[in-house]
Structure 1
């Protein structure tokens, strides 16, 4: 089983912090050309400063990819730098609370646009490029791999985060639908659903409520909070040819939490 991604080109959204950054950094460390993209330009500049200006295997792209023109610019910048795209990781997440009995339509629309629609449109755009790249190749194992990142809120409702929960569930259904649509083109589409992971959002929550750490650990059968790198390792597997017969799957990485404890906003 080959997990090599050496020489592959990957686009990772939400790459300025937390899990998105961990994924992008992990893929770059394993020899992939990686485009780090995020809407927060200042945060992106900060993390990219460690790579140096002479690193020709990484590229940063700042912009709101929920805008169609910005998506096109992202793909163009990727092709200009690396000539192709082999892997797309939709790791961008926008988390905001919402009243379950009086959800502001604007908030719900924002949740859907940022957490599902943007990733779906980018996946469609990138998939078309992957198909063109594969037209003149024979004996392909895969023409490309797309991985979507969501949370346990997709499967178990979080009333205080109703809009976000709906968006995560929609994203996972889009993962399954695209997997079927793109399978004839040898493009695989999978998802990673996480909880009990030290995400950027969880770090912020723990600063406000340090006791939350004990609650999470107590409710997690494996007895700890995972690092963002552990999500990156799962994404790496799904993006590699080692997972060449895996598509349309949502891999849950939560230390068993979904088996044992109700989901709350702290799991997002």
Structure 2
């Protein structure tokens, strides 16, 4: 079974920096047509100018909390590549929250940013996948991969809102998988631990001791490179995982096997 995504068209959200950007770069390197989506137009433009040697990377800048913006993203993808085969819901945010503060609205923010956007965009893209597959009687119609976190199964009070949004993402993955299975659209997720993202790099600069703490709580003894996560996402998007759907793959160096509550949050 091939893990190739060559010639496929993928939308990757949260693609201006960090893990989302690493996934977009990796997919382009593997021959996919990639539409990078994010709010930061300056970073998107700079990145596309830097890596788009074969004309297989384009970008769309906009606030995906708006339904019209989502529709415009899909239209821009179809205008550029005529179809969409893969959706990577990579737009996510990590914010601390105070579970005892009634004025703290972080939960609303996390559910909107990390869940609701992915929910609506998945609906929209899935409908397009179904439409473009009319007359196709066999083979994969499309693949959706959601980015989640092992925070969904951990208990850090100051990450309550983020953890809840990740747990909801995992359940949304399973529910969409069952709903879209008759249409031959697969839906899976990757729950990751510590990945050298843009935000983690900044945190490590400010807290020099954090790296050793993270590594001490990770059986493999290191922080993952963003490319390693991108390779897992490629597997889930490819025909190589053709009989997998509704799964939340854990990519955390073994950390969730023994991670105590007192361990670092990243």
Q: Determine if the TM-score, normalized by the shorter chain, exceeds 0.5.
A: yes
Equivalenced residue count is 266
Cα pair distance change 1:22/1:228, threshold 3 Å: same
Who is 1:114 aligned against?
113
Per the normalisation by structure 2, the TM-score is 0.96
Task: Report the CA distance shift for 1:103/1:97 in structure 2 as closer, same or farther (over 3 A).
Answer: farther
SS of alignment partner, residue 156 of structure 2: coil
Q: Quote the residue 1:195 is aligned against.
A: 193
Question: Normalised by the size of structure 1, how large is the TM-score?
Answer: 0.95
**What is the match of residue 87 of structure 2?**
88
1:40 corresponds to which residue?
A: 40
1:88-167 pair list within 5 angstroms: 88-102=87-101, 104=103, 106-138=105-137, 140-167=138-165
Is it true that 1:169 corresponds to 2:170 in the alignment?
A: no
Q: How far is 1:48 from its partner? A: 2.0
Q: Which moved more, 1:78-87 or 1:195-204?
A: 195-204
Residue 13 of structure 1 pairs with residue 13 of structure 2? yes
Listed one character per residue, the Cα deviations across residues 31-66 of structure 1 (whole Å, up to 9, x for unaligned) are: 0000011112222223222035x6421111111111
> Quick one: distance in 1 between partners of 2:63 and 2:102?
24
Cα distance, 1:118 vs. partner? 0.2
2:207 counterpart residue number: 209
* CA–CA distance in structure 2, aligned partners of residues 31 and 8 of structure 1: 8
Structure 1: runs of 5+ lacking an equivalent: none
Specify whether residues 20 and 103 from structure 1 end up closer, same or farther in structure 2 by C-alpha distance, changes over 3 A only. Answer: farther
SS in 2 for 1:160: helix
Q: How much does 1:103 deviate?
A: 5.0
Deviation at 1:107, TM superposition (A): 2.2
8 A Cα contact 1:152 1:263, kept in partner: no
Instruction: Judge conservation of contact 2:15–2:37 (CA < 8 Å) in 1.
Output: yes
- Cα 1:171/1:264, change in 2 over 3 Å: farther
Moved more, 41-50 or 18-27: 41-50
Could you tell me whether the CA contact under 8 Å between 1:150 and 1:192 is conserved in 2?
yes
The alpha-carbon distance between structure 1 residues 162 and 19, as it changes in their structure 2 partners (threshold 3 A), is same
Q: Distance in 2 between matches of 1:234 and 1:153?
A: 18
Decide whether the 8 Å contact of 1:152 with 1:267 is kept in 2.
no
Deviation at 1:150, TM superposition (A): 1.1
2:180 to 169, 179, 182: 182
